[in-house]
Copies of this chain bind each other. A is one copy, B any other.
């Protein structure tokens, strides 16, 4: 846990350390003393670089979370391009993969989802930021892609609910590891994560009425 990240500039170390702590415990539960200890610098450093604790939290989103979110979106487009398919299954798989197997370490992906989940659960100023800069445009993009890919016209309203249903599963399976492991009896190995990814894609594809399984 004690991440005596001695490498880069203190400001960066504080951003890294505090993001991990905010994600894990939530804003209020984290103390400045804890942060600077993990970042390997002095108590005064947070106030020196960020003025106050609250600013640090917002800077974590500005300097870490949002750039990473853009990379995830980029990874989605890359997945789609590489798969060479723009059908519904291709889109859903690229979407799920971008979150579940994206261009980051396991730890970083969890951190990312946790911070988002916290803002979803109890929105703060940070929510408005990511809603505007990240969520809104991405939802728009996905809706456009899906609309083109679907054989029959579907109402935007319905399409959005479907997207949210897919997204809810992605969030849950990244976030709720404890109950998922409890009920499935499996630890989060890379094999199991692949398994989950396949499940989400298959379930959602059928959920969209595009699946091949089960219809008799």
Which A residues are within 8 Å of any B CB, using their own CB? 24-29, 114, 117-118, 120-123, 127, 131, 135-136, 139, 151, 157-158, 160-165, 167-169, 171-173, 175-176, 178-180, 182-184, 196, 199-200, 203-204, 206-211, 213-216
Chain B proximity of A140: nearest CB distance (Å)? 9
B161 to A184, Cβ gap below 8 A? yes
A26 to B24, Cβ gap below 8 A? no
Point out the residues of chain B lying under 8 angstroms from A199, CB to CB: 158, 161-162, 165
Please name the residue on chain B nearest to A151 by beta carbon.
Answer: B216
Q: A203-B207, A208-B206 are in contact. Are A120 and B168 (CB under 8 A)?
A: no
In terms of DSSP, what is the predominant structure of the interface of chain A?
A: helix
Q: A160-B184, A184-B157, A184-B160 are in contact. Are A169 and B165 (CB under 8 A)?
A: yes
Q: Roughly how many angstroms separate A1 CA and B69 CA in the complex, as a whole number?
A: 35
Query: Which 5 A-B pairs rank lowest in CB-CB distance, beginning with the nearest?
Result: A209-B214, A168-B172, A28-B29, A207-B207, A215-B215
Q: Identify 13 residue pairs between A and B in the complex whose beta-carbon atoms are under 8 Å apart, listed by A's number.
A: A121-B176, A136-B183, A139-B183, A157-B184, A160-B183, A161-B199, A161-B203, A162-B203, A165-B172, A165-B199, A206-B207, A206-B209, A206-B211
Please name the residue on chain B nearest to A150 by beta carbon.
Answer: B214
B175 to A164, Cβ gap below 8 A? no
Point out the residues of chain B lying under 8 angstroms from A26, CB to CB: 26, 28-29, 122
Please name the residue on chain B nearest to A26 by beta carbon.
Answer: B26
Q: Roughly how many angstroms separate A120 CA and B175 CA in the complex, as a whole number?
A: 8
Q: Roughly how many angstroms separate A172 CA and B173 CA in the complex, as a whole number?
A: 12
Point out the residues of chain B lying under 8 angstroms from A206, CB to CB: 206-209, 211
Q: Roughly how many angstroms separate A102 CA and B179 CA in the complex, as a whole number?
A: 22
Q: Roughly how many angstroms separate A51 CA and B87 CA in the complex, as a whole number?
A: 60
Chain B proximity of A93: nearest CB distance (Å)? 15
